[in-house]
Structure formats: C-alpha cells, structure tokens
Chains A and B, each alone.
Chain A
C-alpha cells in the first residue's frame, strides 16, 4: 500500500506545526495507518512533495491553487478533531 506524505504547516515549521504533527502521528497510530508525516514552513510548503496538508485556518489560503486535499484543524491538541476531519480523507486516499 502506498505510504502517504502528510505535511503539517505553520509559519516557520518548527513550533505550531510540530504540535500538530504530534497529534496527527498519535491518531494515525491509533488507526494503524502508516504514513510519512513532516512539518513545513509557510514559505516553502507549497513546493514540498506531499499528498495531503493539515494546517490551520490562517494557513489554508496558501494552498488554494494546489490540487492536493487540505484539512483545516482548529485545535491542534485535539486527537478527536484530527480523527474526525483527517482520517476519512486519508482512508479515502489510501483506497484510491
């Protein structure tokens, strides 16, 4: 099965997106999904190689012209929110 490249994004790629990546990693593990997760900063994010973006409402606009799906999360500490918003998208991509 193809391992997805999942990118979390914040301003500099070293604080906020790291917290989100932690939550995403935990949720993926709970769902027994293997994926490659990594952080990126706002300046270089669009040029990265990725299958899916998970980020905040403020950063969503960066990706308005990219074809990959963008999942917006409000509470970066909430495993429930990541589960609810990202996992259905990820499962669908893995089928495809």
Chain B
C-alpha cells in the first residue's frame, strides 16, 4: 500500500529549510511535481497552518500537512520529507518537527486506506527512527516494501 503511493519521487530526505513554512512547501512541492495537485494547493497547506494552528503536528516530531480537496487536487497523493535541521511549528506538545508527511485528497474517502497504512507504519517508533535517520531513498523504500 505505502510503496504504491510513496514512490522514490515522493520522498526527499534531509532537506534544508528555514522554517515550518519551508517544510510544508517542500512536501507540497513533491505532490505538485507529480501532478497530484495544483500550486494553489501548496499555498492552501501553508494557509491551513496559519489559520488553524499547528494541530497537524500530531506526534512528537511529526507533522501531517494538507489542505482540503477543494483547494486544487488532481488525485490522491502522499509525500514524505525529512528535515536536516528540525523546525518549530508552534506545537506546545510536539515541536520540533523532523518528519513531514504531506497529502492531498480528492474526497473524504479515497485517501483513508493509505493514510491508515502510513499511521500504522509510524506507530512503530523504530520506523519513525528509520525515516529520521535514513540517508538514502532506497532505505526508506525498503522499509515500506516490507510493510504489509
């Protein structure tokens, strides 16, 4: 499931960004480059954090960045960005963020299975560590492949 969505072009490791906005944009850019969404969707992802706060930093060091289906989505997409230097989103409980999962959904249903697979994978702290420490995309792809 994960390896179907998180292909090599949807993964970028040890990215250098200035701040949380750079982190969100890096994740959104991968979705856009793969034609999963419009450039406007990336702006909407940033706007979501600005307007609604950093609630999407849902676990220590981990953000789930996204906007709404009506913000310019072509098809369901998922991307993974790891940061060279962690950045703060303003989350009291879960800053600083080192892993950014971005997604775009076309409706309320069609992304559910892949998001569940991602959450199932991330629930294992060893898997989160593997993503944080990974130097090559191949290491990450290998971990997704053994995930059922």
Out of B59, B62, B64, B91, which one reaches A15, CB within 8 Å?
Answer: B64
* B115–A15 touching, CB < 8 Å: yes
Chain A stretch 39-96: residues in CB contact (< 8 A) with chain B? 42, 56-59, 74-79
Tell me which residues across on chain A come within 8 A of B112, comparing CB atoms: 18
Closest to B122 in A: A77
**Count: A-B pairs, CB below 8 Å:** 70
The dominant DSSP class at the B interface is mixed
Question: Closest CB-CB distance, A85 to chain B, in whole Å?
Answer: 13
Residues of B whose CB lies within 8 Å of any CB of A are 48, 52-56, 58-60, 62, 64, 66-69, 91-94, 103, 105, 108, 111-112, 115-116, 119-120, 122-123
Ordered nearest first, which 5 A-B pairs have the shortest CB separation? A74-B93, A58-B55, A76-B58, A58-B53, A11-B52
